Structure 1
């Protein structure tokens, strides 16, 4: 059974995910304008609803980590089992968020293992967890693993085993944008585009191949090089990039879960201390 701290971590992760969903415009990704489910097949409202179904599973992951106390192979197997059960619950609630569940599950478990650690240190703890194989996982190749093998892309597992480098890049982009005076929505959009500009997104590789991936990466870089999303030129570049991806029906889904992970880590200095203040 999870305690209050576990539930607080889980809610912080869900809040980070819904905060990522609320950003607009997100090129090729669902956002509050996307009531017609133009690209993804799932509209913004249904994704916000199904995001809430992650909370019990994330709390259970935090509880398992707190009980185990170390990033062991046994904990990794338990997290995998909880994750598969949570995927089923999210599917019943409308689906989506598989990538975000992978990222947030490992980071929530890391936060429970190291409650006083900073975000970057938690990425290192998540790396130690991800280094263990999931012994109970079904022995069948996933789409992501097949694409990773074909193109040499890191994929979701590679990102975790490398200590979530794109989560850390997103944290750097958030900090840089805030230091430059950007308002929070623009700082978060800059973080998303920073991830998009270099991520070897296996979803894009599967649907549109290496040429399409390079097109998306170049489009994201173009927005940032125009002056970031908080400037007039950057805003115009973002609108054009958004129109382009929606016209092509291309969706860089891998970036969204990593940005949610960054927003979760970014929230932790406040979130972890709140139960103690309220006690």
Structure 2
């Protein structure tokens, strides 16, 4: 691809990634999560801070798209993507004053951005997910040996976390959130309710390490039970009360939120393959 076209492609893909993060942020009301109504169970976050964090990642996703275009999923590419992601984390922390806002999203959406770009924008959703899984399967030999909250939770509770989800090709997106998003739209639900259903389908099935970190197995069971109840009832009015309950118990389904943003990214890039089509549908941020 000619240099200027590759630049435009990468900018457009990055804009889609950032807009997906912003769309997840703006979805309201979400239990325990930052949205336009409140900051959920997060005392150190604001809507404005989350917005600034999302926008700060545009260059990160653009660089990932640039280096991935037309290549194969290899150890070398995996480590290049990881290095770009770590630089993105640094920029994020500069914007947020050291608060982790989108570290999980950099991992999940970053892999999908890379996989989409490997396919030059022409891969099916299934191919994007499988390619992202292949990429995630390569170890990052340059990864700092730090004991993160996620690793502690994975060890303590025996769950696979964001790493395992990616290495398996994001099964919770493939089998739950994306089908739920599409089926909810097909039933004539509003986009807001379709996205909320997608979020709750993730909450109902995911062993969310953010929930486990804050609330242990009791918190995870509560989250899954409430998510199933909401999906069964379809009562939109339950959400404000549920938000209050999550705040009361200091629960925030951050892992589900990251996967919702990833779901929205895949939804946006589905079937729009070419640069011209991407550029028409997404203004560069």
Aligned residues: 270
SS in 1 for 2:143: coil
Residues 71 and 197 of structure 1, relative CA distance in 2, 3 Å threshold? same
Q: How does 1:224-239 map to 2 (within 5 A)?
A: 224-227=231-234, 234-239=235-240
Counterpart pick for 2:171 among 165, 174, 192: 165
Q: Does 1:216 align with 2:223?
A: yes
Q: Which runs of 5+ in 1 are unaligned?
A: 228-233
How many Å apart are 1:31 and its aligned residue? 0.3
Assess if the C-alpha contact under 8 Å between 2:8 and 2:275 holds in 1. no
Counterpart pick for 1:177 among 184, 187, 199: 184
Q: How does 1:76-115 map to 2 (within 5 A)?
A: 76-94=78-96, 95=99, 96-114=101-119, 115=121
The separation in 1 between residues aligned to 2:168 and 2:33, in whole angstroms, is: 25
The separation in 1 between residues aligned to 2:50 and 2:245, in whole angstroms, is: 23
SS in 2 for 1:148: helix
The separation in 2 between residues aligned to 1:76 and 1:47, in whole angstroms, is: 27
- TM-score (norm. length: structure 2): 0.90
Counterpart pick for 1:21 among 25, 32, 57: 25
Q: Which runs of 5+ in 2 are unaligned?
A: 281-285
Q: State the match for 1:231 in structure 2.
A: none
- TM-score (norm. length: structure 1): 0.92
Q: State the match for 1:134 in structure 2.
A: 140
The separation in 1 between residues aligned to 2:40 and 2:203, in whole angstroms, is: 20
Tell me the C-alpha RMSD between the 2 structures.
Answer: 1.7
Moved more, 125-134 or 268-277: 268-277
TM-superposition CA deviations, 1:59-79 (whole Å, max 9, x none): 101111116x00000000111
How many Å apart are 1:278 and its aligned residue? 6.3
Which stretches of structure 1, 4 residues or longer, exceed 6 Å deviation after superposition? Answer: none
Assess if the C-alpha contact under 8 Å between 1:9 and 1:108 holds in 2. yes
Residues 248 and 44 of structure 1, relative CA distance in 2, 3 Å threshold? same
Assess if the C-alpha contact under 8 Å between 2:137 and 2:167 holds in 1. yes
Q: Does 1:124 align with 2:140?
A: no
